[in-house]
Amino acid sequence: MNHIIHYHHDADKIVTLTLDIPGQATNTMNVAYREAMKNTIIRLENDLDNIAGIIITSAKETFCAGGDLNELSEQVTASIVYQMVNDIKQPLRQLETLGKPVVAAINGAALGGGFELALSTHYRICLNQPSIQLGLPEVTLGLLPAAGGITRMVRLLGIEAALPYIQQGKKFNPQQGKQIGLIHELADSQVALINQAKSWIKANPDAVQPWDKPGYKMPRGNPSSPQLAQKLMIAPAMLIKKTKGCLPAPEKILCAAVEGAQVDFETAYDIESRYFVSLTTGPVAKNMMTSLWHQLNKINSGDSRPPAVSTVKTEKVGVIGAGMMGAGIAYVTAKAGIPVVLKDISIDKAEQGKDYSRRLLQKQVQQGRLTTDNAADILEKIQCTTIDTDFHGCDLIIEAVFEDRQLKTHVTQTAAQQLTTTAVIASNTSTLPITGLAQAIEQQQQFIGLHFFSPVDKMPLVEIIRGKQTSQTTLAKAFDFVRQIRKTPIVVNDSRGFFTSRVFGRYCLEGLALLKEGVAPALLEREAVKAGMPVGPLAVIDEVSLSLLARIRDQEKVDCEQAGIPFTPAPGYDVLDKLLVEYNRKGRAAGRGFYDYPKQDKKQLWPNLVQLFPVTSTVPKADIAERLLFIQSIESLHCLKEGVLNSVADANIGSLFGIGFPVWTGGVLQYINYYGLQAFINRATELAEKYGRRFQPPALLLEQYKTGDFFF
């Protein structure tokens, strides 16, 4: 126990409990912690007459990361999970009712169970560092805060004020925590943190939690209060509108918050535990934990990075093209502290690209997330230019011009003349094969693909594409750069469309095929969103532009002809041509595509769609949704079999972060696990018989089924 929770009793009778779980970078509430905390509570109770107060802090850089998800993932029965969560939360209840003042001296990040531990103390002091993250983000993994997080947050803030933090997983820094009222004091140093904690204990010997005081009333009213009751009547409907019924965790959190607010603390505590068990033993949380915790950590820790190459820090970046993508790349690079040279054909266009960063930074200053000086420092790192000689000193160039092979070749060749022999050149292409683009330079081993997603400042993924000649050193540098700008990298091998664009294209084309078959446009869009996709296929085609999809198709046709391979256009391309060629509807940027975009109103489906493609279909709703999801999973299996994908983790994270595959599924391949291999094979066979051979179960899936293995 002494090696997990250090127990120090000083001359002032103040006990400092220091969390320091051995062999881990962060403290987690694993089985060793649970046993240690139970024994610590017993020791405190036995020594209570000699204790003036208690401080909880950490020996690590972070305070506590909460529950051990590795351990939780292994638990399968409801009774085991129920016992495990209660073994965490009961000592916290004992701690806050010992009759002695308890202070959390938060010296680093406190998320999930770590912040729930802090909430069980009477007073919370945090180091005044903006980088420290606090909060209860369990919902992002399909779970809920079950170590008292819901019960205490609701009693501290009231139901309505607590919901953004427990139901949406909203994080905050120490300053924001103080404004909210969840952090009481800030400290400027580790020494000050402990000293302030001791001072408060001495000044408040009779501290009691608000809900344990006689006459306690919940802030802003309880669920039966008229004003709150009205809001709670419509809350479930508003929640379903947002989650489409695909995500059970936000619903269970609302239930636990409202039900728990109507009963005593102990009963609320148990309600919270029971809802947690129902989530943890359900499929959605398992899907989300598999991908968004285990596989994401595997990727970010460098599983796809060449292990023999030393870590490389990028010092200066050149970006060719100041359009939407180039401007976004310049922004995230500068914000990571890396100088950027942003080039376009005119200074005005380059400055317009820089203005994108200026607008984003101004917004953050207005929101209090950045100081004016911080914003100015970031903006100063972006140098606008029209000449290639300004790329001198760059160790990485990223080309971000239009999807035109000749244009990309030209700008790459001229920029390469200014670089050292060790600099890396990357293309932000979304579809063009990297091996072909690499021929623009002599050192093809130093060429790689870096496929960013729009908007770059919000999208967390970068798809790294390794060409046939790309060296391990180049791949390592690209991987390190992506982590340096705080993005998640997946590494794929070269192919037309790579992974994300290829799978995304299948989603779009399947939507067009459904439209051609006579499915009502509004029904098509609605069923896609109900399945968990962020937007329907027609809306997303408008966003990327019909012209781009047509150019990709035309380039693929040329490549097939040159290679002597028959080109068979996918179903739906004739729908694209009809709108693009016959009606000049190019997409949102042109103000007209599958949707109309009135200046003073919301977008709406073009009324003539139902005339061009009459609604004649009797395709069942379930078939619409599953065709849109199955086609993406099937295409991903082809990518895995062909070696475009290197791992299941890359497939799942790439699909979730890059193309918006429904988060409840855990990703394109985890969706197959969730569905069940035999059931997926049977359903895919049924879809193939009804709608075409593109749904035929791939050989890899049949092989996997024979071995009895899932996709992990």
Cα 152 from chain centroid? 27
Exposed e or buried b for every residue in 409-420, given b needs 16+ CB within 10 A? bebbeebbebbe
> Can you give the CATH number for the domain in which 49 is found?
3.90.226.10
Ranges in the chain, pLDDT < 50:
1
Residues 490 and 567 in one domain: no
Q: Helix count (H) and strand count (E) of the chain?
A: 30, 18
Residues 439 and 508 in one domain: no
User: How many residues can be counted in the chain?
Assistant: 712
Is residue 312 domain-resident?
no
Residues 210 and 334 in one domain: no
Expressed as residue numbers, the domain containing 371 is: 317-495
Residues 506 and 490 in one domain: no
Contact present, 379 and 334 (Cβ < 8 Å): yes
pLDDT at 545: 92
Tokens of 583: 């009606």
Cα dist. 367→241, 360, 362, 363, 371 in Å? 28, 11, 9, 6, 10
Cα dist. 368→34, 137, 179, 360, 373 in Å? 38, 22, 12, 13, 12
**pLDDT one-digit tens code per residue, 654-693:** 999 999 999 999 999 999 999 999 999 999 999 999 999 9
Q: Which of 495, 527, 562 is the last residue of a domain?
A: 495
Is residue 651 domain-resident?
no
**pLDDT one-digit tens code per residue, 260-304:** 999 999 999 999 999 999 999 999 999 999 999 999 999 999 999
pLDDT at 548: 85
pLDDT at 1: 47
Residues 202 and 351 in one domain: no
Q: Which of 449, 474, 495 is the last residue of a domain?
A: 495
Residues 84 and 153 in one domain: yes
Non-local (6+) Cβ contacts of 306 within 8 A are 472, 473, 475, 476
C-alpha neighbours within 13 Å on the C-beta side of residue 120: 28
Is residue 655 domain-resident?
no
Residues 86 and 139 in one domain: yes
User: What phi and psi, each to the nearest 5 degrees, are found at residue 662?
Assistant: -50, 125
Residues 444 and 521 in one domain: no
Is residue 73 domain-resident?
yes
Cα dist. 123→126, 136, 270, 411 in Å? 10, 18, 24, 59
What letter does residue 263 receive in the DSSP assignment?
S
Cα dist. 144→37, 47, 177, 568, 689 in Å? 22, 35, 20, 48, 42
230 three-state secondary structure? helix
Is residue 572 domain-resident?
yes
CB atoms within 10 A of CB 500: 26
Contact present, 153 and 119 (Cβ < 8 Å): yes
448 three-state secondary structure? strand
pLDDT at 2: 54
> Can you give the CATH number for the domain in which 544 is found?
1.10.1040.50
Is residue 263 domain-resident?
yes
Is residue 304 domain-resident?
no
Residues 87 and 205 in one domain: yes
| Cα(221)–Cα(226) distance, integer angstroms | 9
| Cα(692)–Cα(706) distance, integer angstroms | 24
| Cα(508)–Cα(533) distance, integer angstroms | 12
**Could you give the number of structural domains in the chain?**
3
Residues 94 and 138 in one domain: yes
Q: Is omega for the bond preceding 210 within 30 degrees of 0, making it cis?
A: no
Residues 28 and 45 in one domain: yes
Q: Which of 470, 495, 520 is the last residue of a domain?
A: 495
> Can you give the CATH number for the domain in which 447 is found?
3.40.50.720
Is residue 564 domain-resident?
yes
Residues 122 and 224 in one domain: yes
| Cα(318)–Cα(300) distance, integer angstroms | 25
Q: Which residue has the tokens 């103000």?
A: 591
